């Protein structure tokens, strides 16, 4: 692999899903993207634009159909990349402690060190009292805290987050965003964060990338103009909302494109039914 | 009892019921009702059965009354208990051997497409063969000792456990797999941390059904292929024209099935405290 100048470099990445070669769906790309070391990049776009697909390609869960993604990592790090999922992330058969420990166990970290790190994250995420509980007994917000702790405990160089707060209510969501902000600002890691909330993307990200309706391409790559460290109060500033509206104008067109296609598919199905 | 009271024809009112205002009292009452039903329904049937004898609706040359069964001298003979013990041993050996192989093959086939391709149609075909029809084959294979009896129970149990294990492993949510793979889990780690624990609740459902089936098969095998044990006792009652003996055997095997099934269920609850309660009805 040639020397990379940045942390993640995607070049002409495409993904085509095909059940059998007949019904092919181009889900993504071609997409080019460079992410610098320590950068927090948010991907937004209409449903089905392939943003999660791209994340899964970076995670190594899917392979691209064309193009390539190169990732620069420290070869000594046993878990260079970790991921937080929207749901199904944490295991109902493991206790909170067992879940946080999971990534460390997988990478074969010695037991005493594992214990130390797990305790640290239990403390930091305010989960100490629930160390022995099973996720079923926890609220959605706490479960997602466990998922974040599990992903960060392995000290990844790159953190991938796939709509991690989408299932939470608005208040909880904001709370966890603020928590993530604090954690990230403390030890900056490279983060790729997929969301469909512009506000979330602007509060958290250094850059916001707006993707087009399927097949997902980048239509806007915008630096977020707000200084760090950012505080929760940012959301109330007028320039925050101005910036948000600016991005929304761009995203809106894509959402409309998406809706148009969904409707035209419905029409087709309609004619099939009649015929 | 619904929390809806019609006050007049133009309004609907939602009001709390006992379940809402004093849930503890309500639950206590509900449990009491459930327990009384659980014991009351079989209890009244037994009373009816006894009455049938009392009023001679039932022919006592062919059937035994509950009282005859309970007061049977047979129950006080040490011999009966050794028969039961013989049966229990057969059942347990067969159950464990069959379950072990069933979980093993179910796991292999659940994990590997190649294994599935190789064995699924073969095993599905064998699954449908009535195992009692295989008695001659098993006797030729294993001789006349304990082995063919245990093997027949084991084979029957195997199929139930195999199918539920395989589908349980295959049914583990993709999201759970992805999470492990995203941390770089290898195949063994994926199995140990995700697939197996994720499949266990469903495997236990299979084990519980198999526990009932093991008792069914035990009695069937002993009816034809043994001179001792509960099945043989039932058969002896029939040939010697002693209905009491037959019904003692039947009653004990029913209790055996009930307790064994519950034992497996309780074991599942203890081993898998995180799992939602198994709602499938009891077999047998």
Model ipTM?
A: 0.82
Total number of domains constituting chain B: 2
Q: Do A61 and B198 touch (CB under 8 A)?
A: no
Contacts of B185 in chain A (CB under 8 A): 106
The burial of A172, by beta-carbon neighbours within 10 Å (0-12 exposed, 13-18 middle, 19 or more buried), is given as middle
Q: Indicate if B22 and B94 belong to the same structural domain.
A: no
Task: Give strand pairing partners of A13.
Answer: A31
Q: Do B184 and A107 touch (CB under 8 A)?
A: yes
The two three-digit tokens of residue A113, written as one number: 């060190």
Q: Indicate if B18 and B133 belong to the same structural domain.
A: no
Residue of chain A minimizing CA distance to B192: A106
What pLDDT is stored for residue B8 in this prediction?
65
Q: Indicate if B42 and B137 belong to the same structural domain.
A: no
How far apart CA B117 and CA B110 sit, in angstroms, is 11
- B252 or A272, which is more confident? B252
What pLDDT is stored for residue B43 in this prediction?
93
Which residue's structure tokens are 């347990």? Answer: B92
What pLDDT is stored for residue A271 in this prediction?
45
Task: Give strand pairing partners of B171.
Answer: none
Q: CB-CB: which of B185, B197, B200 is closest to A106?
A: B185
Residue A225, min C-alpha distance to chain B (Å): 32
Alpha-helical regions (H) of A84-190:
96-106, 111-124, 140-153, 170-186
Give yes or no for residue B93 having a pLDDT over 60. Answer: yes
Q: Which of B181, B182, B195, B273 to mutate to test the interface with A (most CBs of A within 10 A)?
A: B182
Contacts of A107 in chain B (CB under 8 A): 183-184
Q: Indicate if B9 and B98 belong to the same structural domain.
A: no
- A159 or B59, which is more confident? A159
Give yes or no for residue B282 having a pLDDT over 50. Answer: no
Contacts of B274 in chain A (CB under 8 A): 92-93, 134-136
Mean pLDDT of B188-206: 94
| Cis status, amide bond into A261, omega within 30 of 0 | no
What pLDDT is stored for residue B201 in this prediction?
93
Give yes or no for residue B1 having a pLDDT over 70. Answer: no
B188 close to A (CB below 8 A): no
CATH number at residue A155: 3.40.50.300
Name the pairing type of β-strands A190-194 and B12-14.
unpaired
Q: CB-CB: which of A88, A92, A102 is closest to B183?
A: A102
Mean pLDDT of B197-226: 92
Q: Indicate if B81 and B27 belong to the same structural domain.
A: no
Eight-class DSSP state of A216: B
What pLDDT is stored for residue B158 in this prediction?
96
Give yes or no for residue B283 having a pLDDT over 90. Answer: no
What pLDDT is stored for residue A147 in this prediction?
92
What whole-number percentage of chain B has pLDDT above 70?
A: 94
Asked whether residue A112 is assigned to any structural domain, the reply reads: yes
Residues of A within an 8 Å Cβ radius of B:
56, 59-61, 78-79, 81-83, 85, 87-94, 102-103, 105-107, 134-136, 154, 160
Are A45 and A216 in contact by the 8 Å Cβ rule? The answer is yes
What pLDDT is stored for residue B71 in this prediction?
85
What pLDDT is stored for residue B100 in this prediction?
97
What pLDDT is stored for residue A187 in this prediction?
79
Domain extent at residue B10? 4-54
Asked whether residue A82 is assigned to any structural domain, the reply reads: yes
Residue B215, min C-alpha distance to chain A (Å): 31
Q: Which residues of chain A fall below pLDDT 70? A: 1-4, 20-22, 88, 265-275
Q: Indicate if B127 and B20 belong to the same structural domain.
A: no
């Amino acid at each position: 692999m040639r020397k990379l100048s940045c942390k993640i470099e995607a070049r002409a990445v495409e993904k085509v899903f095909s059940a059998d070669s007949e019904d092919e769906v181009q889900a993504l790309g071609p997409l080019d993207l460079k992410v610098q070391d320590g950068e927090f990049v948010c991907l937004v776009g209409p449903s089905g634009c392939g943003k999660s697909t791209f994340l899964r390609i970076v995670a190594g869960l899917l392979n691209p159909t064309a193009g390539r993604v190169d990732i620069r990592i420290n070869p000594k790090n046993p878990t260079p990349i970790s991921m937080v999922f929207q749901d199904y992330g944490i295991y109902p058969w493991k206790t909170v402690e067992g879940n946080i420990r999971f990534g460390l166990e997988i990478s074969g970290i010695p037991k005493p060190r594992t214990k130390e790190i797990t305790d640290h994250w239990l403390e930091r995420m305010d989960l100490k009292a629930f160390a022995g509980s099973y996720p079923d007994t926890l609220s959605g917000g706490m479960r997602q805290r466990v998922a974040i702790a599990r992903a960060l405990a392995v000290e990844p160089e790159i953190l991938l987050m796939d709509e991690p707060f989408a299932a939470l209510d608005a208040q909880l969501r904001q709370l966890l965003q603020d928590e993530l902000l604090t954690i990230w600002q403390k030890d900056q890691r490279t983060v790729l964060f997929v969301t469909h909330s512009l506000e979330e993307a602007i509060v958290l990200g250094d850059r916001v990338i707006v993707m087009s309706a399927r097949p997902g391409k980048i239509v806007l790559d915008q630096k977020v103009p707000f200084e760090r460290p950012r505080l929760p109060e940012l959301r109330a500033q007028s320039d925050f909302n101005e910036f948000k509206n600016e991005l929304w104008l761009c995203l809106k067109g894509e959402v409309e494109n998406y809706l148009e296609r969904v409707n035209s598919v419905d029409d087709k199905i309609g004619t099939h039914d009649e015929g | 009892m619904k929390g809806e009271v019609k006050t007049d024809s133009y309004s609907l009112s939602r009001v709390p019921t006992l379940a809402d205002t004093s849930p503890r009292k309500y639950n206590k009452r509900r449990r009491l009702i459930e327990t009384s039903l659980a014991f009351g329904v079989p209890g009244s049937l037994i009373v009816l059965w006894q009455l049938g004898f009392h009023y001679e609706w039932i022919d006592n040359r062919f059937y035994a009354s509950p009282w005859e069964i309970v007061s049977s001298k047979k129950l006080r003979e040490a011999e009966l208990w050794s028969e039961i013990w013989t049966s229990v041993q057969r059942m347990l050996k067969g159950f464990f051997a069959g379950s072990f192989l069933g979980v093993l093959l179910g796991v292999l086939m659940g994990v590997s497409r190649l294994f599935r391709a190789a064995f699924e149609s073969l095993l599905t075909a064998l699954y449908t063969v009535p195992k009692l029809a295989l008695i001659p084959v098993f006797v030729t294979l294993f001789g006349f000792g304990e082995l063919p009896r245990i093997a027949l129970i084991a084979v029957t149990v195997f199929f139930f456990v195999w199918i539920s294990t395989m589908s349980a492993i295959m049914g583990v949510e993709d999201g759970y797999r992805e999470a492990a793979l995203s941390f770089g889990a290898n195949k063994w780690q994926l199995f140990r941390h995700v697939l197996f624990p994720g499949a266990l609740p469903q495997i236990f459902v299979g084990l519980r059904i198999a526990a009932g089936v093991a008792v069914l098969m035990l009695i069937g095998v002993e009816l034809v292929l043994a001179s001792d044990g509960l099945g043989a006792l039932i058969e002896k009652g029939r040939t010697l024209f002693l209905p009491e003996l037959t019904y003692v055997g039947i009653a004990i095997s029913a209790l055996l099935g009930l307790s064994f099934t519950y034992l497996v269920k309780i074991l599942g609850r203890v081993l898998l405290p995180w799992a939602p309660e198994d709602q499938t009805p009891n077999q047998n």
